[in-house]
A and B are shown apart, each in its own frame.
Chain A
Amino acid sequence: MFPRPIEKATPPARALYKIALPIALIIWLLPLLAVALTSLRSQADILNGNYWGWPTSFNMLENYTAIFENTPIGQYIFNSFRVTIPTVIGAVALSCMTGFALAVYKFKGNLLLFFLFVAGNFVPFQILMVPVRDFTVNLGIYNTISGLALFHIAFQTGFCTLFMRNFIKALPFELIEAARVEGVSEIRIFWYVVLPLMKPAIAALSVLIFTFIWNDYFWATVLTQGADTQPITAGLKSLNGQWLSSWHLISAGSILAAMPPVIMFFLMQRHFIAGLTLGAVK
């Protein structure tokens, strides 16, 4: 293990490490902690400039009720779910199939197609922006949830295919060969042999894509406008303009926007990290 395990260090060093850990964490998360605390502050505190001291009163209920009552934040959050969930399902489903095809079959242009998915996944969004917006307008789904979700599904398929293909490639190929010898059809091999083994990959991708899409801001501003369709990221930006210096409300909104991916991360931590660090170890 590197660095040398702290248990083997001298007692003072060990004690120092144990003190340093929480201090480092508090400094690291200070901006976030301050926001969490500010979301509980009263209007009076904000007016008096009490941003960093202890709140004079805790107004959690008032502040959070206020943003739900006075702003469409509930609708924004609902929209985020309506975009994110179909995207997760769609992109994961499509990439299970593309990944399977690229990992299992040898055909001409296999690697080329694979590289197409990989390269597409890295291009700057701006090169897609004008045509995708135009295309979405022409389909009549500009400023709709489906318009945004369809694009996300298509774009995320690139990254998901990279992930799935490499995952299936690492599975023991003998399983598929054995099934073929038994006369099992290719579709049944996909469904009954490979898919059950892909559960960890599906879990990892689901949490990752959930987080990516939930946090997407760029496409939300390009393909939607107004509270009926905009997800929370874009919504927060427009609320920020309206609220001006009502930092307690902005903070409460930020905390709400951050919640779902944070909860998702804590629930599925192992899968999340497995997905994110794919390829970090040989």
Chain B
Amino acid sequence: MERSLGKSLGQKGYQDLRWEDLVQTSIQFRGKELDSIASNRERGGLARVLSRGGWGTFAFSDIQNSTQALNRALLASEAIPGNTSLAEVPVTREQVKAKPEKDPRQVSLEEKKNLLEHYNQLVLSHNGIQSTEARYYEINREKFFFNNEGSEIFQEQLLAGIVIRIIARKGDVIQRTSLALGGSPHYNYLLDKDDEVKKKVQETLDLLEAEPVKAGSYEVILDPDCTGVFIHEAFGHLSESDNLANNPTLQKVMVMGREFGPSFLNVIDDPTIPNVPGHFTYDDEGVPGKRSHLIKNGQLSGRLHSRETAGKLGETTTGNCRAMNFAFPPIVRMTTTFIDNGPHNFQEMLASIEDGLYLKGAAGGQTSGDYFTFGTQVGYRIKNGKIGSMVRDATLSGNLFTTLKNIDMVGNDLDLSRAGGCGKGGQILLDVGHGAPHVKIRDMAIGGR
């Protein structure tokens, strides 16, 4: 049935159809109790037509309705005045299968439950731990793509991971942190992580004794997780060309070659990196994903495109047009976005700071385009080049243009995160990867009391 969907496509304008069959397994513990175990299946499609000035789309969950959905999408597109043309891409007929080392789909529900229970018990066995929210998730997407240029793509995307929220309590003080494992198609990546779990538990317990951070401007070292979220919020979103395509003023700012940061700053978006949540072969309009250098040696050198934005700006496609699931039209999104290794190391950074902060573990961020903010999980004071007492509740924020220029050092210990969810245009928690080495930034505003 799915494979013949392409027959519904008409010839007016550009038309495509996506069909998605998603099977999701989740197991969750809350404290020592098994909180829920669920088996979800979602099937549905999205018809998309561009016949005039903008996209008409129609999401449907009954596969019999594909022709009707295309007609409705065509009517919608016809109502949009103007004329938009897409960047050309090759016609593609391909099948992409997930290639897990150890396939989570072949592991019994009981074994998964036991693994999760093991980590959960390990956390709870520590004094001072009040509760947990430990979740195993496994998502298998079978995605079909057809367009009226002749492309037919089948793509299987498999993702398994564990996220553990650790909640510690002492009297009225309640602190929480979060640890992610996996985030790849390989079940074996979830095994033997006791040491990592124990380390996070200790950090959480230490937070109970930490002082809230004082408001002000600081020299900071951010760990790879924090830096990854920083570059995602502070530069990644600005690289998404959908805002740029209709914005002549911003186009004058985002000129290739313009200096955005120090010469040792390199920022890359790359969906071809395997084993992280931002990985895929073809995006949701059938364009192959590729590595895009967004900042090269401190200068603007690329941006992220859909076929529409690449067409409007006369640039090549990058394969960054993604949809949260079948119910949403694809829009320009990041994949795995990271700062590449630089010339410095962590010890140098530490030694260069008289009075500052070392911040570890991201806790969510947001951007308005020119300003960004993000929370951190734990922090330490740095005094005279040495790590000192712990602080909590540090939230960073700033203007992205000035903050990128305030990057002082970029380390050489690049690490990619194992979980990442991004929200944009109502499409929340799309899988993305992010990462970086440690970086040092001057004059970083931190909210506090």
Q: Do A and B come from one complex?
A: no
